[in-house]
Amino acid sequence: MFPRLEIRQTFAAIGIQTEPGFFQIKQHRPMVNPKTEPSRLEIHRDPARIEIDADKAWDALAQGPHLATMLRIYAQGREAILEQIAEIVQKGDRMAAIHIPQDPVGEMATEWHRPIRIADAVAGPASYDNVDIRFIPDQLYFSYQPAQVTFDPLTPKLEIQYHPGKVNIYLRQKNHLEIRVVGLDARV
């Protein structure tokens, strides 16, 4: 038998162990923080009142405002004086009428107590409606504000942690090469 070479070879084997990476995410609960303003109703009240205007009544009693009285005298004075002159003329005509049998002086004496007509211009017109009465009832004013709700949200940030993956590479089997001579008598 002839000697021959025998070669045995084992290949290297690499082992790979992996752990995948992962994220760890945390977030705390958000808070809404509501704030509420209650509704409001405000009522303002002006009390009732009565207004009495007695200016016309005082005017009818000749005790009204001084300026108004003077203006009335001024406006009616000329007419009152003309009436007085006409009355004096009538009295003169009566005294000149001698054909009337009654005594004109006696008649005029009975009318002597009448005041001068200009005094009528001092007082205003008399009326049952000289006092004005005005009643103003209560006045109510309403102001309403509805309730309001406001939100102040607080959103916390995310807490993110990344855990990287691991790769473990190792030699599972070494490579090996064995060469030997087979069929060789070692005694030779």
Write out pLDDT tens, residues 118-136: 555 567 677 778 888 899 9
pLDDT exceeds 80 at position 68:
no
Cα–Cα distance, 83 to 122 (Å, whole number): 16
- Who wins on pLDDT, 105 or 153? 153
Neighbouring residues of 182: CB distance < 8 A, sequence distance ≥ 6: 3, 4, 5, 6
- What's residue 120's pLDDT? 58
Is 171 within 8 Å of 16 (Cβ atoms)? no
pLDDT at 2 over 80: no
152 or 98: which leads in pLDDT: 152
pLDDT value of residue 186? 60
The answer, yes or no, to whether residue 6 has pLDDT greater than 70, is yes
pLDDT in tens, 11-50: 999 999 999 999 999 988 888 888 999 999 999 999 999 9
- For the cut 80, the answer to whether the pLDDT of residue 114 exceeds it is no
* Predicted pLDDT at 5: 83
Beta bridge partners of 14: 171
In sequence order, what are the residues at sequence separation of 6 or more whose Cβ sits closer than 8 angstroms to the Cβ of residue 8?
176, 177, 178, 179, 180
- pLDDT(174) > 70: yes
Average pLDDT (6-10) is 89
pLDDT tens, residue by residue, 137-167: 999 999 999 999 998 888 888 899 999 999 9
